[in-house]
Amino acid sequence: MKRIFSGIQPSGIPTLGNYLGALRNWVTLQDTHECLYCVVDMHAITVAQDPEKLRQSTREMAASVIACGVDPARNILFVQSSVSAHARLAWIFNCVARLGWLNRMTQFKDKAGKDRENASAGLYVYPNLMAADILAYHATLVPVGDDQRQHLELTNDIAEKFNHDFGVAFFPHVEPLIQGPAARVMSLRDGLRKMSKSDPSDQSRINLSDDADTIAMKIRRAKTDPEPLPEDIDGLEGRPEARNLVGIYAALTNSDTATVLREHGGKGFGPYKEALTELLVQELSPIAAETRRLLADEAELDRLLHDGGRRAEAIAEPIVAEAEKLVGFLRV
């Protein structure tokens, strides 16, 4: 069985983008792989977080993951900061990765924006921590949205350089697992920007906790253009908002863009948005209800996460101890 590692930041309520790009795949993969799923709070603090809110969001994220269908007994579900191996290996990787590599990371450029000088050093070395998250477990498969592809290439660069520098074949090659027509769900307000849980505009995203009325309102107000839906894929050229709404529909029905357009091409956005809303409500309402149920018993949720953390540690500890030995740390 191949080992999978995947993480999600507790930087807000998970969105439809997180769900279609990652969480839904996590559920499928648990049947065929050994899976480690991690709420990556250390990544979340690369931008400012309110401490109490972060603690609560960490629980909420874990509850959402379980509510989506991830079984904490069959998989290892845990909080990143509870396993110190991540921080230790990340430091080693900070010393392996080259500044030139990090300078090419588009996510840093997107997230730091115009005020780069004021971004945290943590945001800059975020991909090194991500490499440590994965390689601390010798995981070889990483289910992610399309936005993370570049970070996984960097993970492999780091693994190769480490292996080369220390003359070993210690860290494995990592493969991204990018699936489906909604590998990149875009903002409902701007079809060229990714849907994000930390976008200042709540109207830009569907949160997994949104109720039916909120989903209906957000889809009704989602930006579109005046043309009806095209009948084939070529007709989506230059229409990012239409492409996004079609991609979401295709993902929710486990079909593809061409099939959705065969069914809905020629229709105006009014009836199409109604059909899309119905699908979304059907899929997301049970998740929201189950998340609320899980959050009502915080002690049990904390117990599950503690247990996951100890199981994760048992795998990571010997791997990271070996990496520390390879770089020459004295263990006395």
List, by residue number, the catalytic residues: 111, 194, 197
By the 10 Å C-beta count (0-12 exposed, 13-18 middle, 19+ buried), 65 is classed as buried
Nearest distance, CB of residue 127 and ligand AQP, angstroms: 12
Distance CA 131, CA 89 (A): 9
User: Which of 8, 323 has the CB closer to ligand AQP?
Assistant: 8
Specify the 3-state DSSP secondary structure of 291. Answer: helix
Tell whether residue 8 is a contact of ligand AQP (CB under 6 A). Answer: yes
Binding segment (CB under 6 A) for ligand AQP, from list 144-152, 154-162, 216-224, 241-249? 144-152
Tell whether residue 106 is a contact of ligand AQP (CB under 6 A). Answer: no
Task: Please identify which residue in 24, 151, 197, 264 interacts with ligand AQP, judged by CB under 6 A.
Answer: 197
Binding segment (CB under 6 A) for ligand AQP, from list 117-125, 145-153, 268-276, 277-285? 145-153
With residue 244 as reference, give the H or E element that holds it: helix 240-252
Residue whose tokens read 């004021």: 118
Binding residues: 9-11, 17-18, 133, 145-147, 185, 194-198
Nearest distance, CB of residue 176 and ligand AQP, angstroms: 9
Tell whether residue 147 is a contact of ligand AQP (CB under 6 A). Answer: yes
Contacting residues for 50 by C-beta, under 8 A, at least 6 apart = none
Tell whether residue 247 is a contact of ligand AQP (CB under 6 A). Answer: no
Distance of CA 86 to the CA centre of its chain: 17
Task: Please identify which residue in 161, 184, 189, 311 interacts with ligand AQP, judged by CB under 6 A.
Answer: 184
Query: Which residues partner with 4 through β-bridges?
Result: 35, 141
Distance CA 241, CA 225 (A): 8
With residue 5 as reference, give the H or E element that holds it: strand 3-8
Nearest distance, CB of residue 187 and ligand AQP, angstroms: 8
Q: Side chain identity at 309, as an amino acid letter?
A: G
Task: Please identify which residue in 90, 97, 141, 144 interacts with ligand AQP, judged by CB under 6 A.
Answer: 144
- Find, among 273, 277, 247, the residue nearest to 261 by Cα: 247
Q: Render 164-195 in DSSP notation, one character per residue.
A: HHTT---SPP-EEE--STTSSPBPSS-TTSB-
The most distant pair of C-alpha atoms in the chain lies apart, rounded to whole Å, by: 72
Tell whether residue 194 is a contact of ligand AQP (CB under 6 A). Answer: yes
User: Which of 251, 323 has the CB closer to ligand AQP?
Assistant: 251
User: Which of 21, 308 has the CB closer to ligand AQP?
Assistant: 21
Residues that bind ligand AQP (CB under 6 A): 7-9, 11, 15, 17-18, 21-22, 144-145, 147-148, 183-185, 194-198
